[in-house]
């Protein structure tokens, strides 16, 4: 898996979209407000990555590792997150209408004030997960 520097990531983000970022290591990189609509980030490591305000509409993120990622106010409508590791991720205020989280690890994730309309969470793994209304599942 290739680890990219912040400069390499900035170069990638300026290329034609959608982006193909499969199986990369983008852990700890700042992707605040990044335009990643319809991009493929399947299997990518995004551990602790700041994706606050990012546009991830229609992105493919199957099997991605977003543990402890920051997605405050991110737009994840119709994003595919099957079997993704979302443990400890912060989705506070994220828009996730139509997202697919089948089999995803949601332990210790924070979805407070997130919009989870028509989200498929079948088979998701919960444990101390904060739901939009503040309840813990």
What integer pLDDT is reported at residue 12 of this predicted model?
Answer: 85
Report the C-alpha gap between 92 and 130 in whole angstroms.
Answer: 10
Domain limits for position 56: 1-137
Please, which residues have CB within 8 angstroms of residue 129's CB and are 6 or more apart in sequence?
106, 107, 108, 109, 111, 136, 137
- Total tally of structural domains belonging to the chain: 1
DSSP state of 61: -
pLDDT tens-digit map of 92-129: 999 999 999 999 999 999 999 999 999 999 999 999 99
- Write down the pLDDT at residue 80: 98
Read off the pLDDT of residues 43-69 as tens digits, 9 standing for 90 and up.
999 999 999 999 999 999 999 999 999
CATH of the domain at 41: 2.160.20
Displacement of CA 118 from its chain's centroid (Å): 17
Q: Are 54 and 73 in contact (CB under 8 A)?
A: no
Query: Three-class SS of residue 3?
Result: strand
């Amino acid at each position: 898996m290739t680890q990219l520097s912040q400069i390499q990531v900035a170069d990638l983000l300026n290329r034609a979209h959608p982006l193909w970022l499969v199986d990369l290591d983008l852990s700890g990189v700042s992707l605040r407000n990044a335009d990643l609509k319809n991009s493929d980030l399947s299997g990518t490591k995004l551990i602790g990555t700041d994706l606050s305000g990012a546009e991830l509409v229609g992105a493919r993120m199957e099997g991605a590792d977003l543990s402890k990622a920051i997605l405050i106010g991110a737009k994840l409508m119709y994003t595919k997150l099957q079997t993704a590791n979302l443990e400890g991720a912060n989705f506070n205020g994220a828009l996730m209408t139509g997202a697919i989280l089948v089999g995803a690890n949601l332990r210790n994730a924070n979805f407070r004030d997130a919009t989870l309309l028509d989200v498929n969470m079948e088979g998701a793994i919960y444990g101390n997960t904060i739901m939009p209304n503040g309840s813990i599942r």
